[in-house]
Each structure stands twice: as structure tokens, then as C-alpha cells.
Structure 1
Amino acid sequence: MTDDRTIDLTGREERPAWDALLARFAGTRVAVVGETCLDTWYDGRPRGMSREGPVPVVEVDGQSDAPGAAANAARGLAALGAAVRFVSVVGEDAEGALVRDLLARDGVDVSSVLTVPGRRTVAKRRVCADGQVVARFDTGDAVEPPAGAVADLVGALAGAVAGCPVVLAADYDAGLFTGEVRRALVAAVRAEGALLVVDAHDPLRWADLAPDLVKPDAEEVEAVLGAAELRAFREDRLGFVAEHGDALRERLGAATLVVTLDADGAVVVAPGSSVHVPVRPVAGAAPAGAGDTFAAGAVLALAAGAPVVDAARVGCAASSVAVRQPGTAVCRLPQLHDELLRAGSAVVAAGQLTALAATHRSMGRRIVFTNGCFDVLHRGHVAYLDAARRQGDVLVVGVNSDPSVRRLKGPDRPVNPAGDRVAVLAGLAAVDHVVEFDGDTPADLLRALRPDVYVKGGDYTEAMLEEAPLVRELGGEVRIVDYVEDRSTTGLLERVRALRTLELPGGATEPEPLA
């Protein structure tokens, strides 16, 4: 960290050294200041509608409790190996005692979690029927603590942030962050020479205190926009942040902004520049705790010395892990490593395949490989890749380079250059890694990867594949999967050419080249 608390915006295009970064997570000190909540999930099966009113009946057969709100961020940091100090208040009640016990069990230092007599700890209880939330009921006091508790909080801050390179203020707008507490926290952080990261429901409340980094989500961005800005943001969120990110950053008083946009990933905004960090698609994701988990991963990466763009990549990967799990979940270090391996290295070089395969095999994964031009992606491709992915645990897709496509398909192909084809494939949920190759066959890739399964579509037979003997020699098997009838790039382009021919003036019969 630099003395003037600037954040490195460097975003490396090559795969970062994740192993080295994650190794620095262990024992890195981070302080979290924010509100505490108890999240309770009741799970069961639906039993129709109640006779007492138009509400579903759920036969509850399970209950899980977890720290929520800022306490979830603290728990998430501990799950990644950090030495976490948590500053908060709870009531002198069963809910407060349970949250403290859960945090302590997970390794969070709760010595600065103050118990306030007469206060009710905030609790959010959700009822789920077959995994679907059907009701939520909240209890507790989301109001400012009494003056004595505020004074105790202020007194605890300096000791809590000591030795922490980064401090997270997780402001759920539930009473803890009075003006006095906010000013005292900023003073303690500045005295320590640490970075202040603010994750607030109302980030404007912090603007006059000039945080080092503010992390608003889409809803929090919308709350600070005017009517015209709001319409533009909703029409094109990524485009709006890219164009107006500097103005938004200045409005929120932040040196750096990280805007999280759920399925659209995150955008890192620094003076005069912005970087989009995509997220790997997650099918059927539930949103509980995703923002806390993103904050935990990103803050710890910053504390471990990562550039802010890489920290955002860590945050995106961590939140992707959390939303795949039921309830209020966290991301643990092995899960983060796995997600970064899949998402952060979706596009790989041929020279990385041997090491990549060794890593996946060390985790007991079955590797599937397929290849093709994938020039104009269509329904048949998507169905085929989904089927290929089901043959194992990891799907690697080889993509013919532009010169290779021209040799195979003719001088008018490809329609889309290799960079575009690779990027589209890397965005599919079924695809774990994409690698470009220049040969007419993927023989070199097969030798490097040694896949357990080599997959081709149903328009092939094994006898037609000259690389099939090599796959067998390397210890793999060849599988032919079904494909969608009448769906091919060649057929699609023929239909486009036919339409263009009809539209040419003067009754011309030959269309112009598409490429």
C-alpha cells in the first residue's frame, strides 16, 4: 500500500498468479465495521394452501442459522483465511448471543462486538418451500444505539483497525453508523494509514468523508441518479458506467469505484479510466449474501496486495461460489481457487493446457475436450456444448484460428474473427476453458491435455475422425453426442446469401461476399 492510499488500477490481461495471491490470504488482518443480523432459513415441503387464508403451508423439516449483514462479510473473510476483527452491536438476547457464537466458531474476533441491554438484535427469518422463498419476517431494532454504546463503539475503533491494511465499513443503514461513528472510523483508518472500503446502502452518506473505495450495487447506483440518468442506466448499465463512471465516482466522493452489476459482473472506475470485470454465468443463482461475499473477497485481495481489478475478479469469483449455495453462504478458499481457475482462465493458451489438466486431475475431475470453428454461434452449438459438458466435470473447447478456418471452410470464412468466437464461447455456462489452435486438427492440444473424453457432434462417426486413434492412444475415449437437426453455420449462411441475392438490384443472382 502506498502512503497516499492510492489503489493500483492495473488489470493484467494475462492470467494473474492466483496461487501466489491466495497464499497471502492466510492471517492477513482485516477489520469489518457494520451492523449485525441473524439470518434464519426454514426449509421444507409445500403442503398446499392454508384454510385460514390465501397463504401456502410449508411442512418445515430443517433450520439453518447464519450471521447476516456485515457479520456475513466478516464470516466470509474468515472463511478465506483472514484474521478478522468485527466491530458491531447486538442486543442482550438469544439472537445476539447466537450470532456471536457463530462468528467466534468461524474464527472471527468478536471482542469488539458490543452487547447493548434492551436492544433487540435484527433477525431475518425466511421460509422456503422446496428451495423457493415463500415468506420472510423481520424483527429487531434497526435504530441508532444509545449514546453510551456509541461512545463505546468509537473507543473500540482505533484498536480494531490497528495492523489492518484495509478496513471494510459495511453500512446497512440500520443505525450503527451515526455521524460520530463514521467520522471516528475515518480518523482511525487514516491514522493507521489503511484503505477504507465502503459498502453502503446509502453511499452518499459517506461522500464528504472521501473513502478510498466505494462498492455500490445496481440498486444503490439507481438511488443516487436523476430521472434521465436512471433511464439511461437501466437501458445499458455497462455502457452508462463506462461513460459516466467518473461523474458517479466524484458524486460519491470515492477515489475508486467498484460497481457490482450481478450477472454483468463489476466495473472498476478510477480517475479517467474504467475496466469491466465479467463474471462466469451462474444458472439459477440465489442472491442472498452475494454482495457481502464479493466485498469479503475483494477486500482481502486488496489487503494481500492485489491490484484493484484483480481484487474485483476475486470478488466476482467469490460471489459466484456463494450464490450457487442455499441460504446465507460464504466462499471458502478451495472453492475460490477452483472458481478463479475456471473463470479467470476461461481463455487459455495452448502452452497452459498440461498444467491446467494436472490441476484439474489433482482435484479428481474428468476432463472433456471438443473442438470446432464455431463461426456463427447458434442453437445447435449450444445444445452440443451442453451435451459435451455432461460427459465429465470440465469442458475444454478448442477453436480453429482464422487461417485454419479459411483452409477448412474457404476464403469467405470465418464470418467472425477468432477473438470474437473465443469470447462468445468463454461466456457460455457449459464451457470452462477455451483455447485457440492453428492446425487443421487439434492433435497438439490433445497431446497436451490428454482428455478423458473427446466429444464430437452427431454428424460425425468415430471412423471419420482422424484424431480418434490418438485419443485412444492417450488413454481417452471418443463419444458422439446428438445434435440439433437443420442447425449449422453453413446452412445459416446459405440462407443469408439467398436472402441477399433476392435483395440485390437489377435481378443479380450472385451475392456479394459475406466475409
Structure 2
Amino acid sequence: MTDTMPLRQDGLPELTADLPARLAELAPRVLVVGDVILDEWLSGSADRLCREAPAPVVAVAQRRVAPGGAANTAVNLAALGARVRMVSAVGADDAGTELLAALRQSGVDTELVAVEPDRRTTTKSRVVADDQVLVRLDDGDRDQAPLTAVPAAIDRFLAACAEADAVVLCDYGTGLLSGDVLERLLPTRERIPLLVVDAHHPRRWARLRPDIVTPNAEEAATVLDTPIPRSAAEQLTFLDENRAQLLERTGARAAAVTLDRDGAVLLDGDRPVHRTWARPAPDNHTAGAGDTFCAALTVARCAGLPAVVAVELAQAAADVVVHRPETAVCSATDLAERLGLGLGSVLDHDRLAEIVAEHRAAGRRIVFTNGCFDVLHPGHVNYLNEAKRLGDVLVVAVNSDAGVARLKGPDRPVNGVADRAAVLAGLSCVDHLTVFDEDTPAALLARLRPEIYAKGGDHREELLSEAAVVREYGGRVRILSYLPDRSTSALIDRIRGR
């Protein structure tokens, strides 16, 4: 579906509020195969202990069920506009009936889900009192029969692969995808345009040469046979240094390693490492966030969006669900609202100074950068991501329309300042935005006094007049890496040349 993605006039996809609707219009056909779970939430209040043991008595006031595991990936895909077919097996029991009903209600085709009398549907029941999970009860078959043991199931699955825009393999180790499923799938691989593997042990699927794998930190550590550092900064360096081994052992073209509240790290071939920044939530609000991340990433890649844009979109979707209780779903509307928050995020200089002071009082390190950002391109994204890694808070100052015209000429900017700021706000690495009208940000730097003033690799410190201001108050100027052939002016010239 790469060539069907509607783009802006400048030819680039952008993380603005209208993007989720445009993705949903494409309605990619996605096949999800893997371990399904019925998530059950029993909520109530607890104000006394039982007589039999020092355990709370929970008066259940509400029961809610939701598709979990691979089924949660499927319903998130459907909520984002994909046409989804679920491939799995459930038991001929009440849990299986409820799970299938929930999938259908969410718009997921369950024709390829086998119902077997001898199988017990996996359920995870959580007892919650006053927003606190007290206990989780897991039920169902620990070791399920593989898909190849279900009459005709594997043949129907392989036939459906030829009609899909993407196949998502969700292997959580319960046995459904064990046996010779891999061997049966190998001859079909070349007919799958996009293969995404979300597995506890992604090495097992390396022979399929996935387009992208989505391990969490623990799963990536297992692949590498080495513990991953706990520090977010050390994690990024570690993964970047070990990317060749990780990609080789998983057979993947790219890996998006999710780091829970520390965001995610994208390792895409030999391209610069890219990190996203999450908006953390309490641990009891994080059920299924990885499924949502995988779903949004798949939809974006089906549309041909660059991997960096896709992983930023996936992070935004995950941020939506982690701030909701229980097993949640991010719809195209939810994602549009999340991305739309950037439209009102431009701060005036007074308010920005107050916020920076609050950050500094909390011991956070401030990084500042500025630019026109007329047409956001990979060079911009890479250097902004690199700038964020120099500290805790990234402030981006954007030249006003009049300022751009003075610097670049009367036919610039191509995009007005509101659009330019909205696109920047969609990047998880950008914490605060402001607009300045002067030719240099010297006055704003003197007022905010950031610890680091960062500029892209196409600049030289000795030619930056504002660098003297930074050195005068004790800050540091950092010139970051440079991606060749990544120029806004050159890009605009190419577009106009067409």
C-alpha cells in the first residue's frame, strides 16, 4: 500500500491530527495470528479483612471483559481502521464464547478462529479494589495444541496470507505457534508484503526474515544473551552498539525495542538510532500498551510511512492507552486527539520561562535548539532526537513567518508557523515549543539560560553569534551530527522542479 498513502503538498507524511483519519481511510487488510486471551476485570471496594486469612474482602461492583494478547492487537488494529482477520483457537467454553463476541463487536473477523471442545480458553482475571490490583488469576491451558493440530486451520491461514497487506505474528509461548507452524509458513513468506513479529522469543522466527520485530527490553536481552542496562541513556547506547547482532539473530530488517516508561528505540538497518519518549503512567494502567504500539506501527508501515514516523505514531498510540485503566484500545479518533494536543502547545516566552524554572528546580537539565523547520525531514528528526538525549527537557524555538522570510527569502516559509509547530509537537522528543521573531534566539537564550544549546551539524560554533551569550552565562554549545543530502531548501527545489 506504499504508493497509496496521501501526502501533504510537500510530499512528506507528518504527525498531525489528520494523519490517523488518512491512515484509516486506507483500511489495510491485516492478518493477526497468535495467542488470544480473555482479560477480565473485577472492580469494587475493600474495607475489611476476611476471617479466614489476612486478605481483603472485595465487594465486586463491576465486571468487564476485553480481548487480550493477540486479540488485543487485533482490536487495536480494527480501531485504527484496519480490516482485521484473527487466526487463533479458543475452547468451546464460556470464556471462548465471550472472547469471540468481544472480537466481533470490535469489528474483527473471527472466521479463522477455531473453536475446539478439548481446549480451555486462556483467561486472566484481575481483582481491583480502589484502583489497586490485588491479585491476578490465570486460567486455561498452559500448553496449547499447535495451530497445525487444528483440522484445516493452518491451510486456511496460509491461504489468507496471500490476501493480506500485513501479517502480525503474536507468539507468547503458549504453544499455539509451536510445532511446524514456522516450516509451513516459510514458502508463503514472499507473498506477505509486511511481516511484523511480536514474540517472547523472536529468534525463533528469524528464518522468516521479518520486516520488523517489537521485543521489549527483557526479550531483546534474551536475544543478545546479555542483560540490558537499566539507565535509559545506557540502554540506547547498548542497543545501538548491538544492533547488528540483534537484527541478525532475529532476521529482521528493523527492530523497535519497547522500554516501557522510557519509550522505545528504533534500529532500522544502518540508519541513525531513533528513540521515542513515553508519557509515563502508573503501572496498573499499562495492560496491553505493547499490543497497541504494535498495532499502530503496523498500520503506519502498511501505509508506507517511514519507520521513524511509524514508531513515533506507535508511541503516541501507546501513550493514549497507558493513561486509561484496564485493557484499553486506541482508536483513530483517540490518536487524532492525542496528536492534536500539539496545536495549542506553543508557549509565550513568559510562560516558557516559568516552566523552565520549574524544571530546573526539579533538577532537570534543559536543552535548547531553534530553527525554521519549514519542511520537516529526516535530518531534522535525527538531530532533534539527538538533542533530547543531551538532557532531560528539550525546548524548541521556531522562527516566525516573518523571520523565515528574512532569512530564506520572500517565497518562504512554505508552511506557516502554526503548521510547523504542530508537526514538531507530534515528535515525542520535543517537550516545549515557542516562537521567536528575531533573527537569532540570543535574547531568549539569555532569559532561559539552558544548560545546552544544540544546533545541527550544518552549523559551526564560531559562526553562531548567539554562542557568545551561551558561554557568558556558563552554558555549553553542542554541534550535533549531520546527515548529508538532508536539506529543506534542496527538498523544496526538488518538489518545485516536479
TM-score, normalised to structure 1, is 0.66
Deviations, residues 382-417 of structure 1 (Å, cap 9, x unaligned): 79xxxxxxxxxxxxxxx9979xxxxxxxxxxxxxxx
Assess if the C-alpha contact under 8 Å between 1:400 and 1:438 holds in 2: no
Count of residue correspondences: 389
Q: Which whole-Å CA distance do the structure 2 matches of 1:232 and 1:329 have between them?
A: 27
Q: Which whole-Å CA distance do the structure 1 matches of 2:316 and 2:165 have between them?
A: 22
Q: Secondary structure at the match of 1:339?
A: helix
Q: Which whole-Å CA distance do the structure 2 matches of 1:89 and 1:143 have between them?
A: 13
Q: Which whole-Å CA distance do the structure 2 matches of 1:107 and 1:513 have between them?
A: 59
Change (3 A) 1:329 1:270: same
Runs of 4+ with >6 A deviation: 232-235, 380-383, 399-402, 424-428
Q: Which residue of 2 aligns with 1:277?
A: 275
Moved more, 307-316 or 48-57: 48-57
Change (3 A) 1:380 1:115: closer
1:214-363 correspondence to structure 2 within 5 Å? 214-227=213-226, 229-230=227-228, 236-284=234-282, 286-342=285-341, 356=343
Q: Which whole-Å CA distance do the structure 1 matches of 2:193 and 2:315 have between them?
A: 23
Counterpart residue type for residue 144 of structure 1: Q
Q: Which residue of 1 aligns with 2:75?
A: 75
Change (3 A) 1:54 1:107: same
Counterpart residue type for residue 337 of structure 1: A
How far is 1:327 from its partner?
A: 0.7
Q: Which residue of 2 aligns with 1:128?
A: 128
1:333-412 correspondence to structure 2 within 5 Å? 333-342=332-341, 356=343, 369-372=347-350, 374=353, 377-379=356-358
How far is 1:138 from its partner?
A: 0.7
Deviations, residues 187-218 of structure 1 (Å, cap 9, x unaligned): 3342x242211000111211233222111011
Deviations, residues 90-115 of structure 1 (Å, cap 9, x unaligned): 00101001100110111100000001
Q: Secondary structure at the match of 1:174?
A: coil
Assess if the C-alpha contact under 8 Å between 2:205 and 2:250 holds in 1: yes
Assess if the C-alpha contact under 8 Å between 2:119 and 2:144 holds in 1: no
Counterpart residue type for residue 267 of structure 1: V
The answer to whether 1:206 aligns with 2:205 is yes
Assess if the C-alpha contact under 8 Å between 2:266 and 2:274 holds in 1: yes
Counterpart residue type for residue 117 of structure 2: P
Assess if the C-alpha contact under 8 Å between 2:233 and 2:389 holds in 1: no
Q: Secondary structure at the match of 1:40?
A: strand
Q: Tell me how large the CA RMSD over aligned residues is.
A: 3.9
How far is 1:70 from its partner?
A: 0.2
Assess if the C-alpha contact under 8 Å between 2:196 and 2:298 holds in 1: yes
1:33-72 correspondence to structure 2 within 5 Å? 33-72=33-72
Q: Secondary structure at the match of 2:180?
A: helix
How far is 1:225 from its partner?
A: 3.3
Q: Which whole-Å CA distance do the structure 1 matches of 2:66 and 2:356 have between them?
A: 43
Assess if the C-alpha contact under 8 Å between 1:25 and 1:80 holds in 2: yes
Change (3 A) 1:514 1:47: same
How far is 1:250 from its partner?
A: 1.0
The answer to whether 1:137 aligns with 2:144 is no
Q: Secondary structure at the match of 1:313?
A: helix
Assess if the C-alpha contact under 8 Å between 2:369 and 2:396 holds in 1: no
Q: Which residue of 1 aligns with 2:458?
A: none
Change (3 A) 1:314 1:438: closer
Q: Which whole-Å CA distance do the structure 2 matches of 1:315 and 1:376 have between them?
A: 28
Change (3 A) 1:376 1:150: same
Counterpart residue type for residue 62 of structure 2: G
Assess if the C-alpha contact under 8 Å between 1:214 and 1:254 holds in 2: yes
Change (3 A) 1:307 1:448: closer
1:434-473 correspondence to structure 2 within 5 Å? 435-436=397-398
Change (3 A) 1:115 1:42: same
Assess if the C-alpha contact under 8 Å between 2:20 and 2:333 holds in 1: no
Q: Which residue of 2 aligns with 1:415?
A: none
Counterpart residue type for residue 49 of structure 2: M
Q: Which whole-Å CA distance do the structure 2 matches of 1:264 and 1:324 have between them?
A: 15
Change (3 A) 1:183 1:288: same
Q: Which residue of 2 aligns with 1:99?
A: 99
How far is 1:308 from its partner?
A: 1.7
Q: Which whole-Å CA distance do the structure 2 matches of 1:419 and 1:92 have between them?
A: 52
Assess if the C-alpha contact under 8 Å between 1:211 and 1:255 holds in 2: yes
Moved more, 316-325 or 154-163: 154-163
How far is 1:155 from its partner?
A: 1.1
Q: Which whole-Å CA distance do the structure 1 matches of 2:91 and 2:202 have between them?
A: 26
Q: Which whole-Å CA distance do the structure 2 matches of 1:232 and 1:131 have between them?
A: 28
Q: Which residue of 2 aligns with 1:153?
A: 153
Q: Which residue of 1 aligns with 2:162?
A: 162
Q: Which residue of 1 aligns with 2:474?
A: 514
Assess if the C-alpha contact under 8 Å between 1:279 and 1:317 holds in 2: no
Q: Which residue of 2 aligns with 1:470?
A: none
Sequence identity, in percent?
38
Deviations, residues 283-329 of structure 1 (Å, cap 9, x unaligned): 43522000100011111111122122211111111111111111110
How far is 1:243 from its partner?
A: 1.7
Q: Which residue of 1 aligns with 2:459?
A: none
Assess if the C-alpha contact under 8 Å between 1:197 and 1:212 holds in 2: yes
How far is 1:275 from its partner?
A: 2.9
Change (3 A) 1:374 1:423: farther
Moved more, 103-112 or 235-244: 235-244
How far is 1:246 from its partner?
A: 1.9
Assess if the C-alpha contact under 8 Å between 1:195 and 1:212 holds in 2: yes
Q: Secondary structure at the match of 1:272?
A: coil
Change (3 A) 1:66 1:49: same
Q: Which whole-Å CA distance do the structure 2 matches of 1:168 and 1:148 have between them?
A: 18
Q: Which whole-Å CA distance do the structure 2 matches of 1:380 and 1:245 have between them?
A: 33
TM-score, normalised to structure 2, is 0.69
Q: Secondary structure at the match of 2:152?
A: helix
Q: Which residue of 1 aligns with 2:171?
A: 171
